[in-house]
Structure 1
Amino acid sequence: MKGFIAPGFEAVADAFANAPRGGSALTVLHNGTPVLDVHEGWRDAAHTSPWDPQTLVNIYSVGKPVMAAAVLLLEQRGQLSLQAPTATYWPSFKAQASVRDLLSHLAALPAFPQPRPVEAWSDWDLLCADLAAATPEWEPGTVAAEHALTYGHLLGELVRRVDGRPPAQFVAEEIATPLDLDLAFALDDERISRCAELEFDSPDWPAQMLGQPGSVHARAVSNPPGARDLAVINSPLWRAAAIPAVNIHATSMAIARFYAAVMDGRLPALAIPQHTGTDLFIEQEVTWGLGVQIEPDGTWGQGGLGGNAGWADPSRNLAIAYVTRHLGDFTAIDRIESALHQAVPTAKETTN
């Protein structure tokens, strides 16, 4: 393990070090200031390139709130309304779903409707046209189902229609560059050269994560194919494509700083409850905000496939991000969070 550990956060660093993944990083900001920024392992499966602070890793759904923030910036500037039908800005969009529905996983379009080959990930217009023509799977606004692969295209095309810039460019120019966040999708060659190579915890891990055949979960993650295929997700095709629901590549520092920017108001608020109920993709009760899950303890954020996570803990003034190239479970997150609660008690805990 290498990096920076502020006094008082040694136990948090130990929780990270005691759950090595052969390539991972953890950043914790307290009141916007780094108190922990550590990494371990390797960038590649062959263990020839050590992980360093500039390593980028595919964080899957942890990137979804970034796209939500992009849409909310347009709303903040008066360029769109969350209550308006999506078709107001995207005329060919057939579903009677509002912008708010898109943001809150309520659009009833959890899966791409037309079977497409893996190469379709490089065809933004094709996949967006498929979504525009799709019939919702149920009445929009009534039932939540995380839009695992479709979320980024729905929000990204909305951004493009309203602003004119492709979503990767908008995120770069309006979020990443102003806030100095090392995150992006549709990567250029320089960023591709810094990417970590993903691995699975076990050979059958993708099958374990698929869900029951025919379920919303299984259908949502299966088309186009490749989102859980190492040959695809480690390829230039995937890294250079715009798939903002699941292929934003970032450092842990970038994600932690993103959450800090939301908490201090430099980016629009995300943790505004929109819907509570059983999410048909996650298959448990969830409270969705605007692109983030809100937990009963007041923390909020978004996990990503394989154990990645970014979240805010307002009661402790913490912004946290954990990223890994070795896709498995969330055991490391649980240990880290427990240690953080000991390191930074809330005001209520301090007075008790």
Structure 2
Amino acid sequence: MTVEGTCEPRFTEVAEEFERNLRERGEVGASVCVIVDGETVVDLWGGSAVPPDRPWRRDTVGHVWSCTKGATALCAHLLADRGELDLDAPVTRYWPEYGANGKEGTLVRHLLAHQSGLPVVRTPLPKGAFYDWKQMTETLAAEEPFWPPGTRHGYQGLLFGFLVGEVVRRVSGRSLGTFFREEIAEPLGLEFWLGLPEEHEGRVAPTIPADPSADLPAFYRTAFADPASTAALLIGNDGGYLLTPGESDSRAAHAAEIGAVGAITNARGLAGLYRPLSLGGGGLVSAERLALMAPAVSAGTDAVLQVPTRFSLGFAKAVDNGYLPPADREGIGYTETAFGHPGMGGSVGFCDPPARLAFGYTMNKQGPGLGINPRGQALVDAVYRALGHRQAGSLWYRPD
């Protein structure tokens, strides 16, 4: 398949792995972007946006799923850096209604670190619920947590954006998508949307679901075996967003501000989002704020996903699950100093400030897991090798 774009000679291996993904590893259409020291060193795209006859072009964009969480978290950190939001304050300081039914002790930081105790809701959600911000936030405010907030972590896979986004809305007076556009996307010149304008709809490469597999991750096994589990509620009580064929690629879904999983962009947009952070804050946030964004604050077996996960305040940290059964091995293979977020099926955006690195990868053909799949990991690995890093296990470090 045709690959277009630019790649500096030092990063030739990234281009080679990108081509191998398309030729040998089941990639259909994709983009990858690497920024080092603030300069774009890799900007490649190729394959098919809509097989068999619509090529992936420079301006093709796609649904990046949970990569969205990094954008939403950054909105909260901007407000915190400006002194308008205290991450150690109770959520009720900004969203008084949220204190109902045992949630009065929830801190803003608990929402960012997946420690809210509210990874899913019990209240049955009607069709299209994710397109009604008021309904979702009222439902969340009325729910009882599954565990005392702050005592454990469980992935807020589809609700992170409503939880954190409502705090952003209450503090800023603007919707999450509007705040992101006005304070981040437009100033940085990013084609990255939380709520896609209709005029860009024709540029979207629809998602191609992962191939069915008999070897299911523990999360899905639990979901199918126990309808009352948090895993089952995550995929089954979402107003039809996940399980209704084509729903997540509908115009209504693209237009909605779904701050956990709804963003539309490409690799250039993801890398561009993290570019200022790779430069010590880059005028977007202070160095002091950046230092608070990177460290892991939640770690261990995830109460929802049932495999080890690690999170900083809003971002996913490196985790090596290579010792687990094959279906649960997909982890996140970048350095301990890096932070960002993968999206379901394999897309990923992250920064590594000590390496002055920002990275983005998007594709339309999903892999089976929630971490970085082998196609994306091959690109990340090639970047780190070009930067002189060495691998320890499946993670990376810089030799002294």
Confirm whether residue 17 of structure 1 aligns to residue 19 of structure 2.
yes
Q: Which residue of 2 aligns with 1:310?
A: 349
Taking the aligned partners of 2:366 and 2:244, their CA distance within structure 1 comes to: 12
Q: Extract unaligned runs of 5+ from structure 2.
A: 320-334, 391-395
Among residues 35, 51, 55, which one is paired with 2:41 in the alignment?
Answer: 35
Task: Tell whether 2:261 aligns with 1:246.
Answer: yes
Secondary structure of 1:148's partner?
A: coil
Aligned positions of 1:223-242 closer than 5 A: 223-224=237-238, 225-242=240-257
**Backbone CA RMSD of aligned residues:** 2.2
Partners of 1:5 and 1:36 within 8 A in 2: yes
Q: Deviation at 1:317? A: 2.3
What one-letter code is carried by the residue in structure 2 that aligns with 1:66? A
Match of 1:60 among 36, 59, 65: 65
Report the Cα distance in structure 1 between the residues aligned to 2:346 and 2:310, rounded to whole angstroms. 20
Counterpart CA distance in 1 for 2:245 and 2:365 is: 11
**Pair 1:271-2:294 in alignment:** yes
Where in structure 1 are there 5+ consecutive unaligned residues? none
CA distance in 2 between partners of 1:325 and 1:83 (Å): 38
Comparing 232-241 with 289-298, which one deviates more in the overlay? 289-298
Normalising to structure 1: TM-score of the pair?
0.93
Equivalent residues in 2 for 1:90-239 (5 A)? 90-94=95-99, 95=103, 96-203=105-212, 210-213=220-223, 214=226, 215-224=229-238, 225-239=240-254
Superposed CA deviations along residues 217-247 of structure 1, whole A, max 9, x for unmatched, are 3322322122254420121121111211001
Larger RCO (alpha carbons 8 Å, 6+ apart) = 1
The answer to whether the 8 Å contact 1:315/1:346 transfers is: no
Q: Distance in 2 between matches of 1:203 and 1:350?
A: 38
1:142-183 Cα deviation digits (max 9, x unpaired): 111110000000111111111111111000000100111111
| Aligned equivalent of 1:336, options 362, 366, 379 | 379
**Equivalents in 1 of 2:156, 2:214: separation in Å?**
21
CA drift at 1:192: 1.7
For residue 258 of structure 2, what is the amino acid of its counterpart? I
SS in 2 for 1:210: helix
> Could you tell me how far apart the structure 1 residues matched to 2:179 and 2:275 are?
20
- Return the alpha-carbon distance in structure 1 between the equivalents of residues 214 and 6 of structure 2: 33
CA distance in 2, matches of 1:103, 1:57: 25
* Matched residue count: 351
Contact 1:198 1:230 in 2 (8 A): no
Conserved 8 A contact 1:260-1:319: yes
| Aligned counterparts of 1:351 and 1:19: Cα–Cα separation in 2 | 29
Going from structure 1 to structure 2, the CA distance change for 1:321 and 1:161 (only over 3 Å counts) comes to: same
Q: How high is the TM-score relative to the length of structure 2?
A: 0.82
| Corresponding residue of 2:324 | none
**Which one is further off, 198-207 or 79-88?**
198-207
Q: 1 CA distance for matches of 2:161 and 2:78?
A: 16
**Matches of 1:261 and 1:351 in 2, distance apart?**
25
